[in-house]
Amino acid sequence: MQYPEFQFLSSKASQAEQRCYAFGIFEKNDTTPDTTHLTGEPLYHDVLMPLIKESQFTGKQGTTATANCFHTAGKVILVGLGKQEAIDQETIRQAAGLVYRTCAQLHSPSVVIHFATLLTQQNHLKAFAEGTLLAAYLDERFKSKKDTTITHLKKVYLLNAIEDDQTIQLAQQIITGANLARDLVNAPANHVTPSMLAETATELAQRHHLTLNILEKEDCARLGMGAYLSVTQGSSQPPKFIHLCYKPKSPNPPSAKIALIGKGVTFDSGGLNLKIGNAQIELMKYDMAGAAAVLGAAEAIGAIKPNKEIHFIIAATENMINGNATKPGDIVTASNGKTIEIDNTDAEGRLTLADALVYAEKLGVDAIVDLATLTGAMVVALGTRMAGIFGTDAQLINSLMAASPRTGEKIWQMPLESAYFEHMHSIVADMRNTGSKKGAGSITAALFLQQFVEKTAWAHLDIAGAVWTEKPWSYYNAGATGFGVRLLVDWLLNS
């Protein structure tokens, strides 16, 4: 993927390369924009004010307007930023995405950005770069012909911004990870198999000098991973238990040891409890979005190299049907010795995560965070723009929630109501793998996972709704969002 080049300017770009001017406009009130920050701009009287008046532009967040620029052969773009006092990183990230998309519609390969003094702050500059790079993502890998009508931005001139190449580089490293996750989730299940995830981990290990251990089926059996292996039984694809690790080379000891676990079910048919009706079986290629986020985080962390030891763990498999497939009513034993009655073979992700959690805790880490497209109940509860977070450690949860507004990846704390665990009571085993049919499905799923973490601080992110979008918005195309990568990396760097 070719990203645009960012260039800092104290005055306008050369006439030869200049194609578009993009002006961020604040909203003064519901009907009037705030244009005081544009005073003295050469285009202010000739182009901007007539455009504002003719388009009835108010500066409302997320709105745009365009006009010809008579001073050059290019265009002027107005981007609504909303109320100035409400500006945050996500506002700027979304505005950057709108600039990119508008330039593509205008077939402009370059743009000059004037966002008042907003980009003089590091966090705002980073957010602008992130929004631009996220919007630049286009996946045409599986099309026989590329769309030659699309114009991609090649240069972004940042006018009167803080000149900070390191911040731009950091944004590029993070978004490279996010876009890797989008690549993995967008790809079909006949392309992204457990073996392909292992190959991706191998490439990351080689590129960033990480350590890698891939456990095969026999290795997992020796470790007693009966919960995970029960999900693998119906698939002709071999399972791959992936353990990728970044260790800093600093002479100082790492400031923390963290384990990140991603659900890696590369296709979920539901097993013998086959998905039917509105279960959207055709989209179940994205049931490995947690694994994609973990690998995307590994890509970014490998490039950034913080002083933390970070383990990236994925129990990869398919959930399919054949004569060996796990049956409802079967009893399996996880690697911590707990027995599970399989009430529903479509509640498979928690079985893979159970053994991954036991494995991670044995590493002696300070905290474990898992990400999983675990329950449809989470989509019902929170929709498609945010994920739910559960956990046993308030400090860990609070630190993850603090990263959310900085990244625009929204999370909401959900209750871990211990009384609901009785809904998973089994007559013949320690527990069933599903709870009551009457509700609280996301909570009971989290309670199930809690049984496989003894003492370590743990947080569970149910990202089922946020990993996919049917319609493009701001800096996302339709399809995979790469949700979780930016949140994890920000948390790792700032906690």
**Domains observed in the chain:** 5-163 (3.40.220.10), 188-494 (3.40.630.10)
Spatial neighbors of 417 by CB under 8 A, at least 6 apart, are: 440, 443, 447
Q: Which of 217, 275, 338, 385 is catalytic?
A: 275
3-state secondary structure 462-478: ECCCCCEECCCECCECC
Q: Answer yes or no: are the C-beta atoms of 384 and 466 closer than 8 Å.
A: yes
Token pair of 490 as six digits: 């920000």
Task: Name which of 176, 201, 337 is nearest 262 in CA terms.
Answer: 201
Which 3 state secondary structure label does DSSP give 143? coil
Q: Which of 350, 406, 432, 486 is catalytic?
A: 350
Per-residue pLDDT tens digits of the chain, which is 495 residues long: 779 999 998 765 555 455 789 999 999 988 889 888 877 766 677 788 888 988 999 999 999 999 887 665 678 999 999 999 999 999 999 999 999 999 999 999 999 999 988 999 999 999 999 999 999 999 999 999 988 888 889 999 999 899 999 999 999 999 999 999 999 999 999 999 999 999 999 999 999 999 999 999 999 999 999 999 999 999 999 999 999 999 999 888 999 999 999 999 999 999 999 999 888 999 999 999 999 999 999 999 999 999 999 999 999 999 999 999 999 999 999 999 999 999 999 999 999 999 999 999 999 999 999 999 999 999 999 999 999 999 999 999 999 999 999 999 999 999 999 999 999 999 999 999 998 777 899 999 999 999 999 999 999 999 999 999 999 989 999 999 999 999 999 999 999
- Catalytic residue check, 350: yes
Side chain identity, residue 45: H
Spell out the alpha helix ranges (H) of 271-371.
289-304, 349-361
- Catalytic residue check, 275: yes
Chain-centre distance for alpha carbon 426: 36
DSSP class of residue 282?
G
**In which residue are the tokens 């620029």 written?**
69
Q: Answer yes or no: are the C-beta atoms of 350 and 357 closer than 8 Å.
A: no
Q: Judging by DSSP bridges, how do beta strands 331-333 and 339-341 pair with one another?
A: antiparallel
Which 3 state secondary structure label does DSSP give 88? coil
**Rounded Cα distance, 275 and 271, in Å:** 8
Which 3 state secondary structure label does DSSP give 95? helix
Beta strands in 325-396 (DSSP E): 331-333, 339-341, 367-372, 386-391
